[in-house]
């Protein structure tokens, strides 16, 4: 049997075993609100549990927790906007190319054909075909699940004996499933979509794959934000971004050393995409100013060395270059 600890026992454990100064009703309320396991333990390290943060006072833990919560509030509306806008623009590009593209079965046969680039029997052919079939299974499962859950956008078409159009399918797909959809599109279609977003690049994006890279990077961050997981140290990152994406962003923004090891690089990516989606310079500047403001508030509450580890030593330099990019890029 596992024995739990009361809040008083947890406070004593933090103070005696972790040597963190904690006392009083305010600290007790903070710990109850953030939770020992979700909050305190999750904010005592950067990146991995082996990289413990050197803190001496519980208020410093609360400061990092609050900073992380404010980051999620800042990121959430922009990520949700990206998710809707990128699906809508993809749909519009497909329909402009072919009116029949509103039908998923037509797209499955004619456009979700990236596997055809390879010879039958080639391991890449098998991988791409497996990916394509997995996508179809996921889409049918999403439709089935949402019908059972009585989602009107799905039930309407079934109850009227109509095929479910692509826009309705997009409504019930996760961002990761949409990313898989984009990956399975053939090269001419991907290129057409990226050209429409002014993201085509002969040097780094001639096959249109970079948008898919971006979708999967933002998907991991989106899930962390939506499910209230930790975001400040990028521990949500599940993939190593390809060098083509890093080089492309560096070339487009003029900002060096983009590695996606610190959150500022995700803001660079998000600003780049939002600018391509016609978000105003004012709103983009406001987002970066809010990030800088949150960083400064945190800097005053925790040791300088810990702040530098969280934000990265080139945070200020990158934000200044990002502001220049926002104002100067056309």
**pLDDT of the residue at 128:** 95
164: CB partners within 8 A, 6+ apart: 104, 143, 154, 157, 158
Angle at Cα 198 formed by Cα 112 and Cα 86, nearest 5°? 50
Angle at Cα 167 formed by Cα 166 and Cα 173, nearest 5°? 85
Show the tokens assigned to 280. 């105003």
pLDDT digits (tens, 9 = 90+) for 50-90: 888 889 999 999 999 999 999 999 999 999 999 999 999 99
Show the tokens assigned to 22. 């904690």
Beta bridge partners of 103: 165
**Strand, coil or helix: 235:** coil
**Strand, coil or helix: 242:** coil
**pLDDT of the residue at 251:** 93
**pLDDT of the residue at 48:** 84
Contact 93, 192 (CB under 8 A): yes
What's the mean per-residue pLDDT of the chain? 92
**pLDDT of the residue at 49:** 82
Alpha-helix residue ranges (DSSP H) falling in 18-122: 24-34, 58-97, 104-110
Q: What is the mean pLDDT of each run of 10 residues along the chain (330 residues)?
A: 80 89 92 87 86 90 96 97 96 88 90 94 93 96 94 90 91 95 95 92 82 96 95 93 94 95 96 96 97 97 94 95 86
Angle at Cα 43 formed by Cα 42 and Cα 45, nearest 5°? 95
165: CB partners within 8 A, 6+ apart: 102, 103, 104, 157
Show the tokens assigned to 198. 């002014």
d(CA 93, CA 91): 5
């Amino acid at each position: 049997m596992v024995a739990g600890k009361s809040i008083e026992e947890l406070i004593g454990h933090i103070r005696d075993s972790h040597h963190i100064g904690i006392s009083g009703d305010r600290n007790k309320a903070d710990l109850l609100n953030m939770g020992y396991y979700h909050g305190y333990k999750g904010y005592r390290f950067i990146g991995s549990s082996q990289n413990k943060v050197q803190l001496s006072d519980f208020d410093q833990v609360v400061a990092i927790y609050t900073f992380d919560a404010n980051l999620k509030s800042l990121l959430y509306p922009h990520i949700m906007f990206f998710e809707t806008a990128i699906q809508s623009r993809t749909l519009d590009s497909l329909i402009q190319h072919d009116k029949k593209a509103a039908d998923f079965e037509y797209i499955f046969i004619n456009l979700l054909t990236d596997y055809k680039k390879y010879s039958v029997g080639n391991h890449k052919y098998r991988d791409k075909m497996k990916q394509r079939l997995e996508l179809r299974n996921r889409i049918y499962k999403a439709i089935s699940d949402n019908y059972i859950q009585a989602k009107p956008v799905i039930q309407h078409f079934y109850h009227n004996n109509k095929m479910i159009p692509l826009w309705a399918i997009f409504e019930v797909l996760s961002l990761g499933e949409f990313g898989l959809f984009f990956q399975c599109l053939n090269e001419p279609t991907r290129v057409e979509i990226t050209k429409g977003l002014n993201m085509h690049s002969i040097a780094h994006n001639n096959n249109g794959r970079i948008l898919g890279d971006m979708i999967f990077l933002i998907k991991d961050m989106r899930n962390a934000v939506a499910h209230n997981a930790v975001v400040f140290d990028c521990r949500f990152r599940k993939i190593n971004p390809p060098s083509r994406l890093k080089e492309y962003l560096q070339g487009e923004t003029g900002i060096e050393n983009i590695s996606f090891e610190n959150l500022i690089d995700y803001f660079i990516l998000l600003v780049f995409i939002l600018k391509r989606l016609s978000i105003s310079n004012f709103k983009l500047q406001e987002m970066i100013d809010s990030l800088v403001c949150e960083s400064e508030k945190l800097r005053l509450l925790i040791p300088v060395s810990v702040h530098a580890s969280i934000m990265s030593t080139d945070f200020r330099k990158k934000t200044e270059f990002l502001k220049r990019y926002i104002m100067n890029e056309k």
